[in-house]
Amino acid sequence: MINQKLKASAVALVLAAGAAATAGAAAASTAPPGTAGGDDTAAAGSAPEIVIPDLSEYTIGFAQVGAESGWRTANTQSIQAAAEEAGVELIFTDAQGEQENQVESIRQFIEQGVDLIAFSPVVETGWDAVLLEARDAGIPVVLTDRAIDSEEEGLYVTFLGSDFVQEGEWAGEWVLEEFADADHVNIVELQGTTGSAPAIDRAEGFRNVVTDERFEIIASQTGDFTREGGKEVMEAFLQSNDDIDLVFAHNDDMGLGAIQAIEAAGFVPGEDIKIVTIDAVHDGMEALANGSINFIVECNPLLGPQLMAIAGSVLAGEEVPERIVTIERTFTQEEAAEALPDRQY
């Protein structure tokens, strides 16, 4: 379906990546957890095959969320490495988890007259004013990783990132299989940053699937996507509930914090209390391979090359798809042990 004449251009590369990723996600969505995205196994954990264009005449401002998790660290490294390869001048800022810092950065990018702004919104809402300022200044905006929620049209050119609802659904499907014979399952949920797209969507996806009344979410609280947050919230959960069967953590880091709390309380994580998480970063995969975590849904942080390819297309005045979904899969304990040696993050 891709226009043959455009094949060598950056836009074709982006479209191809987008189409492949979308097709991958669509195909995988029908596959059961554990085999989800089975055909994409080779691609999992590695950056998609993208040719990074020469952007040496441009400046890009990138406003990052912070450094809250292993996922974020890998994402930052991917973006910085791809920018270097593209030869682009990258103005990188770290908002330390605060929306106001991100808004401030974006305003500075506009003042500095950058050619393109990319950012991963800390939370979904509250972006209209600053993005309208960018639009008025004629600076294209690309969302990476997280989406925004706005009534306003045309605030950004494209959104590159995962399907978080799908991730929550895959976690839920594994829970249904794992507890197929159980009479009653007490679940505690460690939510991501309140108001962020991944926290909202993963919670929704999980609930789309785990509908049977045998399953009860007895407690749900944010651990802010950090290991420390996951540990503290899990300690509190363990103090007020004596019969927890399962932890659903919105990311690996909170799951790793929960493991510490579970062990300190005298239980065996992965056995006495099962754990399902999202991300599949290195430390999470190790805990999965050694049995402390039971199942992980992947969320690929290696968005740098695709972001540079998209920037190339946008700056060349070419059309890009409004939504580009990244290819992902799921991991069982055995699959984690197999995948770990080749894992890039």
Give the total of residues touching ligand GYE (CB under 6 A). 13
Q: Which helix (H) or strand (E) holds 116?
A: strand 116-119
Q: Is 201 exposed, middle or buried (0-12, 13-18, 19+ CB in 10 A)?
A: buried
Q: Which stretch binds ligand GYE (CB under 6 A): 63-71, 110-118, 204-212, 263-271?
A: 63-71
What gap in Å lies between CA 196 and CA 70, rounded to an integer?
17
Is 331 a residue that touches ligand GYE (CB under 6 A)? no
User: CB-based burial of residue 11 (10 Å sphere; 0-12 exposed, 13-18 middle, 19+ buried)?
Assistant: buried
Could you say which of 33, 55, 62, 72 contacts ligand GYE (CB under 6 A)?
72
CA trace torsion 255, 332, 49, 94 (10° rounding) = 0
Residue from 146, 227, 274, 329 in contact with ligand GYE (CB under 6 A): 146
Closer residue to ligand GYE, CB minimum distance, 12 or 324: 324
Q: Which is nearer to ligand GYE, 167 or 245 (CB)?
A: 167
Q: CB count, 10 Å around CB of 51?
A: 11
- Identify the residue whose tokens are 């894992």: 343
Q: Which stretch binds ligand GYE (CB under 6 A): 67-75, 121-129, 237-245, 317-325?
A: 67-75
Binding segment for ligand GYE among 66-74, 135-143, 215-223, 329-337 (CB under 6 A)? Answer: 66-74
Nearer Cβ to ligand GYE (229/312): 229
Question: Is the four-CA dihedral 279, 284, 285, 288 of positive or negative sign?
Answer: negative
Stretch that binds ligand GYE, among 69-77, 98-106, 172-180, 322-330 (CB under 6 A): 69-77
Q: Taking CB under 6 A as the rule, does residue 115 contact ligand GYE?
A: no
| Bridge partners (DSSP) listed for residue 94 | 64
Q: What is the 8-class DSSP label of residue 209? A: H
299 binds ligand GYE (CB under 6 A): yes
Q: Are strands 274-279 and 295-298 parallel, antiparallel or unpaired?
A: parallel
Sign of dihedral through CA atoms 215, 289, 82, 18? negative
Least Å from the CB of residue 26 to ligand GYE: 20
- For residue 321, give Cα distances in angstroms to 78, 113, 292: 22, 25, 40
DSSP state, residue 182? -
Q: How far apart are CA 22 and CA 282, in angstroms?
A: 25
Q: Fill in the amino acid letter for 236.
A: A
Q: Which is nearer to ligand GYE, 18 or 198 (by Cβ)?
A: 198
Spell out, one character per residue from 116 to 145, where the chain touches ligand GYE: x when CB under 6 A holds, - when not: -----------------------------x
Task: Return the number of the residue (123 or 238) whose C-beta is nearest ligand GYE.
Answer: 123
Q: Does 198 bind ligand GYE (CB under 6 A)?
A: yes
Nearer to ligand GYE, 145 or 335 (CB): 145
CB of 145 to ligand GYE, least distance (A): 5
Residue 214 Cβ vs ligand GYE, minimum distance, rounded to whole Å:
28
Q: Which residues contact ligand GYE (rule: CB under 6 A)?
A: 68-69, 71-72, 145-146, 198, 225, 251, 253, 278-279, 299
